[in-house]
Amino acid sequence: MTASEPVLDPSSGRTGAATAEPIAVRRLRLDYDSDPLPKYFMEDELMSHVVAVLSALFPEGEDFFVRSVRRYRDRITDPVLKKQVAGFIGQEANHGREHRNFNARLQALGYPTARVDRLVRRGLAVNEKTRSPEVCLAVTAALEHYTATLAEVLLTDPEARAKFTSPEVRDLLVWHALEESEHKAVAFDVYQQVVGDQTLRARVMREITFWFLFDSITQTTLSILADRDARRPTVLWANLKKLRTSPWLSKAVRQRIADYNRPDFHPDDFDNAELTALWRDRLFGSEGSLAGKVRAPRARDDVKAAAAA
Ligand SMILES: [Fe+2]
Ligand SMILES: [Fe+2]
C-alpha cells in the first residue's frame, strides 16, 4: 500500500465530513472497443466468476435502492440530504447503465448474467410486494453498507486492484467504488430521518447478510459449474485456496460489516473524505485516468435530478 492511501480501519474516527459533501453525478463513456474483453478479466477463473455475478446483481439491485429511497423523498426536510438523494439517484442510474453494458459483454463470453439479472428482478419484485417500504429502505441501507465496505477495500488496497487484469474492468469498478463511497451515507441518513428504528435496521442487516451470501455463493457456484475450464478440480482448488488471503474477506472487512449493528453506528464512522478526494483526483483531476471519458450532462439529466430531489 502506498503512503498516500488512507488505510481501511474500522476504528477510525467519525467526522461527518462526507455528509455535507455534494455528490457529483458523472456520466461516463466507458467504451470497450480497444480489445475484446478476455474471458478471465480477474487474476483467476474463480474471481472472474465472482465479479461477473456481482456485476449481474447491480442493475436491478440499484434500481431497487433508488425506488426504496425515492418513495420517501417528500418526507425529507433537510435540504442538504435532499440534494444528496438527487446525487445518489443520479449516480446509481449511471452505475446501472454501465453495468448493463458490461453484463451484455459478459453474457457473450458465457457468464450467466442475464439469468442472474432475471432472478434478482423477480426476487426484488416479491420483496416489494410482501415487505413494507420501511423494510425495503432498511434493506437498501444494509446493502449500501456492503457495497461501500467492499468499495473502500478496492480504493484503499493496491493488492485488491492488482487482482483486475483487465484495465477496462478495473476502471469500471474503481469508478463505481468511488461513487459508492461518496454516497454511502445517503440511504442510511434517509432511513434514520424517516424510520429511525434501530432494532429493525439490525434485524434486516442479519437477514440481508444471509441472503446476500447465499445468493452470491449459489450463483457463483452455478456459473463455475457451467464453465469447463473454471470447474476443473485442480484449477478450482488452487483458486479457492487464494480466498484465504483475499482482501475482501479479511478480519477488518468482517468487523466493518458487523459494526453496522451497533445502535450508534453511522457510515461516516469510517471517514472517507481523504480517500474520496484522492480518487476524485486520480480519476477525474486534470491528469485523471477517466477525465476524458466523462460525457457532458444532458439537459434531461438535470431535469430528472431536480425531479428526484
Ligand atoms: Fe452503485
Ligand atoms: Fe450505492
CA of 171 relative to ligand 1 center, distance in Å: 14
CA of 286 relative to ligand 1 center, distance in Å: 24
pLDDT (0 to 100) of residue 1: 42
CA of 154 relative to ligand 2 center, distance in Å: 15
Q: Which residue has the cell 445502535?
A: 263
CA of 259 relative to ligand 1 center, distance in Å: 21
Nearest residue to 61 (alpha-carbon basis) of 129, 107, 118: 118
Q: Are 164 and 47 in contact (CB under 8 A)?
A: no
| DSSP-derived 3-state class of residue 164 | strand
Q: Where do the domains of the chain lie?
A: 27-308
CA of 228 relative to ligand 1 center, distance in Å: 31
CA of 140 relative to ligand 1 center, distance in Å: 11
pLDDT (0 to 100) of residue 298: 60
Nearest residue to 209 (alpha-carbon basis) of 173, 262, 152, 260: 260
pLDDT (0 to 100) of residue 7: 58
CA of 181 relative to ligand 1 center, distance in Å: 9
**C-beta contacts of 243-246 below 8 A and 24+ residues apart:** 243/46
Which ligand is located closest to the Cα atom of residue 177?
1
Which ligand is located closest to the Cα atom of residue 147?
2
Partnered with residue 42 across adjacent β-strands are 164
Q: Identify the burial level of 173 via C-beta atoms within 10 angstroms of its C-beta, where 0-12 means exposed, 13-18 middle and 19 or more buried.
A: buried
Q: Are 168 and 32 in contact (CB under 8 A)?
A: yes
Q: Residue 287 and residue 227: Cα distance in Å, rounded? A: 40
CA of 245 relative to ligand 1 center, distance in Å: 26
pLDDT (0 to 100) of residue 17: 37
pLDDT (0 to 100) of residue 12: 45
CA of 230 relative to ligand 2 center, distance in Å: 30
- 121 — phi, psi (to 5°)? -60, -45
**Cell reading at 74:** 417528500
CA of 108 relative to ligand 2 center, distance in Å: 26
CA of 66 relative to ligand 2 center, distance in Å: 9
CA of 232 relative to ligand 1 center, distance in Å: 33
- 14 — phi, psi (to 5°)? -90, 135
CA of 195 relative to ligand 1 center, distance in Å: 23
CA of 144 relative to ligand 2 center, distance in Å: 5
End-to-end CA distance of the chain: 39
Helix axes 167-182, 45-70, angle to 10 degrees: 30
| DSSP-derived 3-state class of residue 28 | strand
Close Cβ partners of 134 (under 8 Å, ≥ 6 residues apart): 195, 197, 200
Ligand 2 is an ion; its neighbours by CB within 5 Å are 180
Radius of gyration of the chain, Cα coordinates, nearest whole angstrom: 19
Encode the chain (309 residues) as per-residue pLDDT tens digits: 444 566 555 444 443 434 466 899 998 887 766 568 899 999 999 999 999 999 999 999 999 999 999 999 999 999 999 999 999 999 999 999 999 999 999 999 999 999 999 999 999 999 999 999 999 999 999 999 999 999 999 999 999 999 999 998 999 999 999 999 999 999 999 999 999 999 999 999 999 999 999 999 999 999 999 999 999 999 999 999 999 999 999 999 999 999 999 999 999 999 999 999 999 999 999 989 898 888 876 655 544 554 544
What element of type H or E holds 295?
strand 294-295
Q: Residue 262 and residue 39: Cα distance in Å, rounded? A: 41
Query: What's the residue count for the chain?
Result: 309
What element of type H or E holds 27?
strand 27-28
Distance, C-alpha 208 to centroid of its chain: 15
Which ligand is located closest to the Cα atom of residue 144?
2
